[in-house]
Chain A
């Protein structure tokens, strides 16, 4: 088994590491401590990263993107997250949706949307799925409640669709220029059958961004409300076909029901945070003193550092294996499992790091505490329980095939 990276993969990894060390680390803590939801964001770092290709990493070369493989994407996400998890996610959120543009849009849409996206360093993408009454229901539609799920309505009027409703907690909503929007085009059909995906530009008449959410962790990451009041979207912006929208998974050729990129993304980001935590813990243990000796002299500190690194390396193996599987079109439940595992690991590792930094008199490290707040976001992202149940269902489907 060859675990080595290609020169190109290694080069991207090192570029991302340098960017994280030199550009991200110096600003991460101050941004996190901004008191409200607005001061936590900075276009400067987005533009700098974009110029190095971090925003367009997943766009095919023919459209002016970097055209990288999944292994490269995993490496870059981890390296950026080592600097700041939310900044890394702000970049990779664009890869998720540019993957979807490539996979699900027609040639005309790709030209119309990918080119301006690539050209503008401030062009960010998002996707509106979640609504106040539909979170887990969108991720795992209940069989015995067919009307459950998103309610945003889209009604055809000539060459346009009229959208009414709202979305909430949507990533990049306050700063994005283009959004995929899942809308209910057949209210009587179950979710998958009755949903159509649209591309909605920021300046669409009748569409506006509402509240910007102030979060305890991932504070750089922008989450907002979307409000549609007779918003008019051209028919040419329908992605795929009307109704029966399962474009993400289907387009990727993955029939096992997973979120090809999204699961890997969260696991790789978590890996970067864990790497940061392990580095911080070791540095602190080797320098901070108690009773006249460095903390590392104590067995309970050594045991914590062992645990942190053990979990991080296990996660790394899983992340890289999943990335490799994606590049080789091997389909399994491993991406989902990696995402579930990363939820547990990131919290345990960052909490152990905080433990090592804490204690009476010692001023609790701002950085260590921030990592903990960023880490428990993982349990609040896309319905943690539902994500685990979905993977279990996927495993059962695979078992049924044998």
Chain B
């Protein structure tokens, strides 16, 4: 059974978010003077409205107060949001995905302590701080060779009923806007995630320094004798199997490409040069067809990886190949959408590089996706090791 139907709820989600983007997101995020000034301040009102629609708590299970959307539905929603704005999509997706991971792993007591505030406050965002300054997470030169263990420099020492945390974190998505941050620290029993509320003394959060090479919000953390209750420890590690995780960043990437494509398609149907609408010229028609092909194949790869993330048994029963489908989707999406954004922008002539128009922003946003993590070359090495059945310990799985 190879079932490509979306259920009525998924289709409704898609339509609702698509309408929200047209009516509430684009009018704010695509304002000419906002684009011209390269203004990337987060549109807080838009984020609040999105939260009111459930988009901040999308994947949190229903019994914990969320919408309970699966990975595929989340990818559909993320793509729609990213068509409107990459930053809006990034913030909401990060909080929503983390909510699922963290709240599912919490004890009932922890859920009680943190759940209500999280659900009720439209401005309540989450962050996960794993990466540290100077971390060398790339596989690179260690391809098919032993790699040194990645040991955390951030430490958590037990002091009676508390943890005392010291260290520094880098590239924390949602860091500057999070009200609760899960910090990965080294305890004497190994690495652990400890929940630290934003206003805890000793925790300093600052914006990730220029150049701005991320979507949404990103920051640096400094922890000096940060004291939290022992009960803030969450029983999961910071690491995930990136190869089989929900491909949400890829869905975001796709949304960027689709925004560029839709703008180009509309323009090509209006702009007259060479005696006819430019879409009626073979060169432009062919270019747009190539973009459309790329978008469709990218979506296929992403949705398949998303479905696989929701149905991991499909690997065991051999319906799906024993491959890191999400990493595959990541490599393909990043390269392909970058080309698609550029080709879309080309249909606009000089306007494709004017800063008061969105096409150059779509290209730049797609370029950011192409250079997140350790880059496509490194991902290909990881895939290669999988192909050769080269197994590594957990410390190498979380390299994102």
A binds B: yes
Interface residues of A (CB under 8 A from B): 35-36, 130, 133-137, 140, 142-145, 148, 168-169, 213-218, 223, 290-293, 295, 297-298, 300, 347, 354-355, 358-361, 363-364, 366, 369, 372-373, 376-377, 379-381, 383-385, 389
State which of B276, B342, B349, B356 has its C-beta within 8 Å of the C-beta of A383: B349
Q: Which residues of B contact A373 (CB under 8 A)?
A: 364
Q: B260-281 toward A: CB 8 Å interface, digit per residue (1/0)?
A: 0000000000001111100001
B62: shortest Cβ distance to chain A, in Å?
35
Q: How far is the CA of A218 from the CA of B213 in the complex (A)?
A: 20
List the B side residues contacting A145 at CB < 8 Å.
Answer: 274-276
* 5 shortest interchain CB distances as A-B pairs: A145-B275, A142-B275, A216-B360, A291-B141, A358-B371
Contact of B355 among A215, A300, A358, A360 (CB under 8 A): A215
List B residues 36-93 near A (Cβ within 8 Å).
36-38
Q: How far is the CA of A130 from the CA of B351 in the complex (A)?
A: 12
Give Cα distance in the complex from A300 to B355, angstroms: 34
B382 at the interface (CB under 8 A from A): no
Across-interface contacts of A130 in B (CB, < 8 A): 350
CB atoms of B356 and A214 under 8 A apart: yes
| Chain B stretch 287-311: residues in CB contact (< 8 A) with chain A | 287
Question: Measuring CB to CB, which residues of chain B are less than 8 angstroms from any residue of chain A?
Answer: 36-38, 131, 134-138, 140-142, 147, 170-171, 209, 211, 213, 272-276, 281, 283-284, 287, 342, 345-346, 348-350, 352-356, 360, 363-364, 367, 370-378, 380-381, 399-400
How long is the Cα–Cα vector from A185 to B211 in the complex, in angstroms?
50
**Cβ contact within 8 Å between A361 and B342:** no
A288 to chain B minimum Cβ distance, whole angstroms, is: 11
The reply to whether B372 and A360 contact each other, CB–CB distance below 8 Å, is yes
Q: Which residues of A contact B380 (CB under 8 A)?
A: 300
Q: Is the CB of A300 within 8 A of B275?
A: no
Alpha-carbon distance A360/B382, docked complex (angstroms): 15
CB-CB under 8 A for A364 and B346, given A137-B274, A291-B142, A385-B283: no
B181 to chain A, nearest CB (A): 19
Q: Are A217 and B353 in contact (CB under 8 A)?
A: yes
Partner of A359, one of B348, B353, B375: B375
Residues of A within 8 A of B281 (CB): 385
Q: Tell me, in angstroms, the Cα distance from A379 to B352 when the chains sit together.
A: 9
When the two chains form their complex, are residues B274 and A298 in contact, meaning their CB atoms are under 8 A apart? no
Q: Which residues of A contact B360 (CB under 8 A)?
A: 215-216
Out of B38, B134, B354, B356, which one reaches A35, CB within 8 Å? B38
- Nearest-CB distance from A387 to chain B (Å)? 11
Given contacts A135-B273, A360-B137, whether A214 and B36 have CB atoms under 8 Å apart is yes
**Neighbouring B residues of A385 by C-beta, 8 Å:** 281, 283-284, 287, 346
Considering the complex, give the chain B residue whose CB is closest to the CB of A168.
B350
Residues of B within 8 A of A297 (CB): 141
Minimum C-beta distance from B158 to chain A (A): 30
CA distance A380 to B38 in the complex (A): 20
Of the listed residues A145, A293, A385, the one surrounded by the most CB atoms of chain B closer than 10 A to its CB is A385
Residues of A within 8 A of B211 (CB): 363-364, 366, 369
Bound together, the chains give a CA A223 to CA B351 distance in angstroms of: 12
A291-B136, A298-B141, A360-B138 given as contacts; is B350 within 8 A of A380 (CB)?
yes
Residues of chain B with a CB closer than 8 A to A292's CB = 141
Residue from B131, B140, B209, B213 having most chain A Cβ neighbours under 10 A: B140
A376 to B376, CA, bound (A): 21
**CB closest residue in chain B, given A169:** B350
| Complex contact A361–B353 (CB within 8 A) | no
Chain B residues contacting A389 (CB-CB under 8 Å) are 283
Bound CA span A36–B35, Å: 11
Given known contacts A215-B354, A380-B353, A361 and B284 CB-to-CB distance under 8 angstroms? no
Task: Report the Cα distance A292→B136, complex, angstroms.
Answer: 9
Cβ 8 A contact of A148, one of B273, B350, B372: B273
